[in-house]
Amino acid sequence: MVESFLEKIKEMLYQVEERFGIVELFAVLKMDEITDKWSIIVGSSWVNDENRKEVFGLLIDLMRKRLDDEERYSIARIGILNSREHLVELMLEEFKSDQSITDDRKVNGNIIHEGFILKSEKQQ
């Protein structure tokens, strides 16, 4: 399930970039061992208070269209952050594109139990 789930999520990344521009960080992470659900983190320099809701709406719409019920329910949260936010900066330094996280990694006080960094490319 994880491979097809990740391919669908990767397609969502492409759709976001097509509509809004280059995404620097796109990650799917399990950060809560109690609920065992995924968080999607999107980080880019173009994210601001005015377009955050629109990006969120696009991702929700894409999830409804592309993911089955089980896949949708496995996602607990979506974070849409500017690349200057501390968590995104740390993740861009720590992780590379197409990297899997299989052991507990602490980033900015958050423990990532499992994850997939689909894109991590710091823009100049």
> Tell me, what CATH number does 103's domain have?
3.30.300
**pLDDT for res 34:** 73
Asked whether the predicted pLDDT for residue 1 surpasses 70, the reply is no
Q: Identify the CA nearest to 83 among candidates 115, 40, 122, 117.
A: 122
d(CA 5, CA 116): 11
Q: Which domain, by its residues, includes 104? A: 2-120
Q: Tens digits of per-residue pLDDT, 29-69?
A: 998 777 789 999 999 999 999 999 999 999 999 999 999 99
Residue-wise pLDDT tens digits, 5-36 = 999 999 999 999 999 999 999 999 998 777 78
Q: What's the domain count of the chain?
A: 1
Q: How far is CA 40 from the centre of its chain?
A: 3
